Every structure is written in structure tokens, then in C-alpha cells.
Amino acid sequence: MKTSNRIILFVLFFMPIQVYGTPLKVFGPLVLGQSCALSGPAQNLGLEMRSGLLAAFADANESGGVHGREIILLTRDDGYEPDKAVRNTKAFIYDDQVFALIGAVGTPTSKAVAPIITDAGIPFFGPFTGAEFLRKPFNKYVINVRASYFQEMEKLASYLVEEKKLSRIACFYQNDSYGFAGLKGIEIALARRSMALVSKGSYERNTVAVMGAMRDIYKGSPEAVVLVGAYSACAEFIKLSKNKYTGDVTFCNISFVGTDSLREALGRYGENVIVSQVVPSPQDTGVGLTREFKRAMAKYQHDAPISFTSYEGFIVGKLFCEIARSVKNGLTRERFIAAMEQGGRFNLNGLVLEYGVDDHQGLDAVYLTQIYPEVEEIKAGN
């Protein structure tokens, strides 16, 4: 073969193909992009989600990756700010030519990038948010792992009203799409029980300025406060509440708060604080996947915490690998989505996720945990 012919064949072999106007490399490493907070008041969420993903991919790469292709995770810091998430996402798609976006952290950031990923035809896989707009209306490019915020709020309302027999419930929420999603969720859950919030108050994202919200909320003399915020602001609200107001108030947080970060920030103030969870406990070694997760973290991410958030990252990464490996006749984005829909049921060593053509959410279970003195699940009747 002439040298010129060899060069032409080499160029053709490694030439990217176009998928929905976006270049996609079909040979070499399988590159994924993650935009999340690696700095600022929500940084622990991004760092822990990333550590779980990295552990899952390192484990997969040791066994051959995806059909011999190494999985590489590129992570960019968005500081939990939408404008930075948009810049990161465009860079991932058009500069790095990633196969998919994975493990994004946050509702406002996800909302900002959703139109971009839809236009580009890029899978948006396993975001760390339960926002309803990522579920309805249906978007074929969005693949959720966790239960929704509406499902978490239904579980919390059931516990507060049916189990604890409380009737005066308030809501502290972040003044953006994340906070509004949680606020709407608890309002819907209470309306099902012919109830309404007695008061509500908000704070601004990436701050701990909660005094105004406290004044608004305690005007309603609540028996319970449902919190929809990041761990730093929620911890500040709870500590100030316990120092300033008397009474036996129950504080309920949804999963995005970051259980371990909240617990660490609260210390002895963690009594009577509840967090809803969307993945099993990272300490429950009765589940085979949990044992696998802890082994992988010890081997590849031994300096990172074993937490609900890092476990969720591991589940997202593990599921991605399972779906990608199930694709036949060459991995493309469209074939990846089709394999997820047609595969339907994915058993990750004891944790089962189910998908369908019109169902892109794998898990529906919600668990309640108390965080003081140790994190443990609340059983019905407790």
C-alpha cells in the first residue's frame, strides 16, 4: 500500500462523525463531561458526586472499560451558578466532543443547560436533582436515576401528617428553580391532605442570609419546617432557629441537601432533623452494590467520604457502564438511549433500576433518615 493511501485510511478511521450537528468520536476513549460545584457553599455535593463517578469508572476501566474503550470523566466547576454551567456545557459539547453529560449537580444549573443538550442531541445522564422539568414534559435525552422531589415531598408529608400527627407545616426554600420545585412539591402533597403551609420564607442561592426567612416562617408558629436548600444555608437556618425559638420543631430536608455535609455542619444541633433519601444507605452492606461501592471507593477514592452523594455518583457511573456495554454494533448516542429503553431492567448487584420508552427514571423509592446521633433510617411507626 502506498504511503499516501495509508495516511488517507488513518484519517478516515479516526474522523469524527456528525450526530445532530455535534461531532462525535467513535474510536478511542469514551469521554464524558460533568459540570458541578467544586467551589462555593455547595462544593461538597459536586466533589462527592464526582468521587463516586470516578470510582465507578476506574473500576470499569480495570475490566476493559466499554468494549475496550477507556472511560474518561472531564469535570468543570460551575460553582452552582447557571451561567457557568452553560459555558461548561458548550465547551464539553463543542470543544471536548463528549459522548454525554453526566452527574450534573443542581436544579438551576440543569434548567439552564436543558435546551442546549436537547438541541445538540446529547444524553443528560443521572443529574443530581429531582426537578420535575427533567421528567415532564418527557425529554428523550434526559435519563434520571433518582426519584423526583415531588416523590420526596410526598414521603415527608406522609410522615409528618400520618405518622407524627402534625398539622402546622412551613417551608424554607432557596429562591430559584430548585427551591420552587421543592415548595410546589410540599404544597401539592399537603393539598392531597386538605392542608396548606402555615408560612414560608426564602433565601438567595449561594448565601447563608436566612434571618428574613426565619422571621417570615416563625410568624406561622410551625410544628415542622420543610427545608429546600443547600447544606450551608439549611444548617444556618436550623442552628439559628434552635437558638432563637423555643418549641419542639421537626426539621425535614430533601436529599439534595447532602446528608453528611449537613450533619457535619450541625453537630449537636442535628437532633430532630430528618433527611429524605433516594438511594439506599451507603452503610447497608446487605446490598451487594453497597459492598462493591465501598471496595471501589477504598481502592480508587480513599480520601473521599462514603456518603449518600458519593454513592449516588457511583450508581450513576455503574449504570452508565452497564447500558453502554449492552449496545451492539457500535456505540452511538441514539443506540445508547435505545439500549436503556429496550433493556428496561438493570440489576446493579442487588439494586434494580427500571426504564421504558416513555419512562426515563430508574428509581422511585424514597427513604427517611434521622441524622442525630447517627444517620439511620426511620422505620414506619417510629
- String of DSSP letters for 242-311: HHH--S--EEEE-GGG-HHHHHHHHGGGGTTEEEEESS--TT-TTSHHHHHHHHHHHHH-TTS---HHHH
Give domain status of residue 99, yes or no: yes
Closest C-alpha among 364, 270, 252, 262 to residue 308: 262
C-alpha to C-alpha distances, 123 to 13, 88, 118, 340, 376, nearest whole angstrom = 24, 15, 8, 11, 34
Residues 262 and 291 in one domain: no
Residues 27 and 110 in one domain: yes
- Establish how many alpha carbons lie within 13 A of residue 135's alpha carbon, considering only the half-sphere containing its beta carbon: 20
Give domain status of residue 367, yes or no: no
Q: What is the pLDDT of residues 155-188, one digit of tens each?
A: 999 999 999 999 999 999 999 999 999 999 999 9
Give domain status of residue 76, yes or no: yes
Residues 56 and 130 in one domain: yes
Residues 47 and 142 in one domain: yes
User: How many domains does the chain divide into?
Assistant: 2
Which value, in Å, is the radius of gyration of the alpha carbons in the chain?
22
Give domain status of residue 359, yes or no: no
This prediction has a pTM of 0.91
Cα–Cα distance between 284 and 80 in angstroms, integer? 30
Residues 83 and 205 in one domain: no
List the grid coordinates of 110.
440543569
Give domain status of residue 26, yes or no: yes
Q: What is the pLDDT of residues 210-239, one digit of tens each?
A: 999 999 999 999 999 999 999 999 999 999
Which amino acid is residue 214, in one-letter code?
A: M
Which of 277, 309, 336 terminates a domain? The answer is: 277
127 pLDDT above the threshold of 70: yes
1 pLDDT above the threshold of 70: no
Residues 57 and 46 in one domain: yes
Residues 310 and 323 in one domain: yes
- Helical axes 308-326 vs 43-62, angle rounded to 10°: 40
Cα–Cα distance between 240 and 179 in angstroms, integer? 20
Q: What is the CATH number of the domain that holds 340?
A: 3.40.50.2300
Residue range(s) defining the domain that contains residue 169: 149-277
Give domain status of residue 368, yes or no: no
205 pLDDT above the threshold of 50: yes
Cα–Cα distance between 338 and 244 in angstroms, integer? 55
Closest C-alpha among 214, 130, 225, 144 to residue 178: 130
- Establish how many alpha carbons lie within 13 A of residue 189's alpha carbon, considering only the half-sphere containing its beta carbon: 26
Q: What is the pLDDT of residues 258-309, one digit of tens each?
A: 999 999 999 999 999 999 999 999 999 899 999 999 999 999 999 999 999 9
